[in-house]
Structure 1
Amino acid sequence: MTSTLNAVLKTRTNDHSSLTGAFSTSARIGWHQPTPAPVAAGRSLSVVIPARNTGYALPAVLDALAAQQTDGQVEVIVVDDASTDATFDLARRHPAVTTAVRLGARTGSVGARNVGARLAGADNLLFLDADMVLPPHVLADFAARAKPETVLTGFRHNLPHRSSPCGPVLPAEPPQLAADHRVTWTPPVGTPLPYSGLTLTEKLDGRPLDATHDFQSLGYGRSYYDWDLPRMAVTALLGVPRERLVDVGGFDPEFGRLGWGMEDTHLGAALIAARCLVVPLRQAVGYHLDPPNAAAQWQSKLATWPSTLAHYRRLLAQPAPTGRGSDFTTTTDKLLLDAEVTTR
């Protein structure tokens, strides 16, 4: 009898101490230290950016990629999910972009990420949101540490929308790790938590990253209140091995049809079942630029979250995905039939 995805997750450890220790010994820098450019030499990375109506942020994101300090080989793939603004034109004209794709119809970020992964030439992928501005060492951080068995997680610091004639207004200081909800988390009291259903009776000063020893104690299906290991795989800034992503079928397309959320959690679960370790990079923190209508967008996303959560729970009860490379190729190639592709 084939084990369900949920059952397989309960057999997987997340002890990455030997991996992080070996890197520190060989590279002579700490796992969580910013990476000097030469350490990434000889390592290739495909940055995949799904984008829809992100003209307010995309130039700043791409400028930050152009300013990255890495000796590794980098390609940047922007997949425009049928935007109604200037997103595609901004992407195809920017010198940092290797490949710009405009999909013929809206698929959601799920389809856009899958198409980017299909076109990627590197063994290691870095999924980056089109509103995430990175410090100059982050591509070297991911490239130098990527392994066939690692899912590398970065973090985000949300910024309220502020713009000028020159673009978004960014603080002079670097983004802060503590701003990410996987690091500092204050859940509501007396209200069921949305993921686990737990109801807290006292105020909690939640510290998921520290309390789980860099996610290591979340192996074997364990949880920290409303958090488990798959939930730590957030595609705002996430490094994954391309071969294993393709083998599990990439992001499940149904999430794109249902709405927002949980597609990255499911991918995390699938990769953990495929024996990947989820390892944080505390130094890899980007500024997440809120859109002008952030409150309205957030409410629209939350309205669909119950549907995507229910789909995720259905997938947990199915066999762990594996051997789905041909399905992944067929699905993404269909999307590319009606797409406009620009390369340089």
Structure 2
Amino acid sequence: MAVTESLAATLRRRSNNHSPVTTGFEALTGYRWHEPTPARLAAGHRLSVVIPAHNVAHCLRYVLDALAVQSVRDAFEVIVVDDASTDETLSIARAHPIVLRLVRIRERAGAATARNVGTALAGADTILYLDADMVLPRHVIADVMVRAAANLALIGFRHNLPYKARQRVQESGMMPDLYADHRARWRPPVGRRLMYSGLVLDRPLDGRPLDHTKDLRDLGFGRGYYDWDLPRMVVTALLAVPREAVLDVGGFDPEFGRLGWGMEDTHLGAKLIASGLLVVPLRQAVGFHLDPPDAEAQWRAKLIGWRHTLAYYRGLLQRPAPTGRTHEFTTHLNTLRAQCEVLR
């Protein structure tokens, strides 16, 4: 009987040399890969923006307002999946004109399931997963649309903004900083075991994961940069992927939502990389991540479940790389959607 290769083994065979993609884009358009793109280049492209939302009344209006003034206003659809919120999240989404589709999951299921529901509803070939607390500059949707392709996972970045400073996003015209994201500039603790790799550093490090890995090209073939590897760079706060590829690998594993916080996006990244996708950063695609009023308490609560989701992810790496899951995914989501409340 043939031995099926594990997901981890498949990742070790995958290169992330995306140079032909970026240089080809620049030669074709005359624009650099990492610069904002004129809206006219997005003509003929379509995009589905999927936003999972649970108790995000403190920030959702800012996020939707930013989408409403994107330079390509009519070229994308916004899908909000409310994950059994108990605050004003649902009413905010229901009242906002930018929201084309709104679905409510009646019982809390987790962000992985909410994104799966949005994926099933999406009408475009490319899905942009956007967190409900991410405010985007006007050019970002066009940047994504013009560069999206069937073999690419495009990652953007986030700049955390304290709750009390959230109004400055619209009032001051300030722009987010790429190097506020840990994937761009990272200063890990010394003498303490790192969360993901388990490494213990004996001296301070001013890490530049994005720079030091040549825009992630050096993270191919299963290689790492201290506490980072290629799947961990795939963060669904701002991630554009081909819908067909997500369906083929079975979407997000909902078990992560039951175990706790984190790793469902890393696992999706691992599956997509194993299927042949290249992970390419967009340095100009940086949004403000708006912290909730109780950010510190929420972070502590998330860390409680981290070891469980990480252990589950490690176990999945030893299983075969999933493929051909479209029918299974669609069948499951059709059943799940029947249990949801469609509001728009």
Please report how far the alpha carbon of residue 72 of structure 1 lies from its aligned counterpart in structure 2 after TM superposition: 6.5
Question: Equivalent residue for 2:242?
Answer: 241
CA-to-partner distance for each residue in 1:74-98, whole Å, 9 max, x for gaps?
Answer: 0000000000011111112211111
Within 2, Cα distance between the matches of 1:261 and 1:314? 15
The count of residues paired between Structure 1 and Structure 2 equals 340
Shift of 1:294: 0.3
Match for 1:300: what amino acid?
A
Q: Deviation per CA, 1:260-292: give whole Å up to 9, x if none.
A: 000000000000000000000000000000000
Tell me how far apart the structure 1 counterparts of residues 116 and 307 of structure 2 sit (CA, whole Å). Answer: 23
Per-residue deviation, 1:124: 0.1
- Bigger Cα displacement from structure 2, 223-232 vs 63-72: 63-72
Residue identity opposite 1:276 in structure 2: L
Does 2:205 match 1:182? no
TM-score scaled to structure 2, two decimals? 0.97
Residue from 46, 68, 81 that aligns with 2:48: 46
Tell me which stretches of 4 or more aligned residues in structure 1 moved more than 6 Å.
none
Q: Hey, what does 1:168 align to over in structure 2? A: 167
How do 1:226-237 and structure 2 match up within 5 A?
226-237=227-238
The residue that corresponds to 1:86 in the other structure is 88
Is 1:23 equivalent to 2:25 in the alignment?
yes
CA distance in 2, matches of 1:194, 1:154: 22
In 2: Cα distance, 1:85 partner to 1:329 partner: 30
- Distance in 1 (CA, whole Å) between partners of 2:140 and 2:159 is 14
Shift of 1:172: 3.2
In structure 2, distance between residues paired with 1:331 and 1:235: 22
Contact 1:42/1:72 (8 A) holds in 2: no
1:151 is paired with a residue whose SS is strand
CA-to-aligned-CA distance 1:209-254 (integer Å, 9 cap, x gap): 0000000000000000000000000000000100000000000111
- Alpha-carbon distance in structure 1 between the residues aligned to 2:311 and 2:81: 27
Residue of structure 1 aligned with 2:75, choices 70, 73, 76: 73
Q: In the alignment, which residue of structure 1 is the partner of 2:209?
A: 208
Change (3 A) 1:71 1:79: closer
Q: Give 2:128's aligned residue.
A: 126
Partner in structure 2 of residue 198 of structure 1? 199
Cα distance in 2 between the residues matched to 1:141 and 1:31: 9
Unaligned runs of 5+ in 2: none
Letter in 2 for 1:205: D
CA distance in 2, matches of 1:259, 1:331: 22
Q: Normalising by the residue count of structure 1, what TM-score does the alignment of the two structures yield?
A: 0.97
Contact preservation (8 Å) 1:37, 1:71: no
**How far is the alpha carbon of 1:43 from its aligned partner?**
0.3
Share of identical aligned residues, percent?
60
Paired residue type of 2:272 = L
- Structure 2 contact 6–321 (Cα < 8 Å) conserved: yes
Residue 144 of structure 1 is matched in structure 2 by 146
CA distance in 1, matches of 2:338, 2:167: 35
Greater mean deviation of Cα atoms: 270-279 or 100-109: 100-109
Unaligned segments of structure 1, at least 5 residues: none
- How far off is 1:162 after superposition? 1.3
Distance 1:56 1:334 in 2: 32
**Aligned AA (1:78):** V
The match for 2:103 among 101, 121, 125 is 101
State whether residues 158 and 287 of structure 2, in contact with CA within 8 Å, keep that contact through their aligned partners in structure 1.
yes
Amino acid across the alignment from 2:253: D
Q: Quick one: distance in 2 between partners of 1:28 and 1:88?
A: 43
Letter in 2 for 1:256: G
Kept in 2, the 8 Å contact 1:16–1:277? The answer is yes
* Contact 1:135/1:174, CA 8 A, preserved across alignment: yes
Paired position in structure 1 for 2:337: 336
Choose the corresponding residue for 2:8, options 6, 10, 19: 6
Check whether the contact 2:153–2:239 (CA below 8 A) recurs between aligned residues: yes
Q: Is the 8 A contact 1:249 1:325 kept in 2?
A: yes
Return closer, same or farther for 1:62/1:90 CA change in 2, 3 Å cut-off: same
Distance in 2, Cα, partners of 1:173 & 1:239:
24
Name 2:267's counterpart in structure 1: 266
Q: Is contact 2:50-2:130 (8 Å) kept?
A: yes
What residue is the counterpart of 2:117 in the other structure? 115
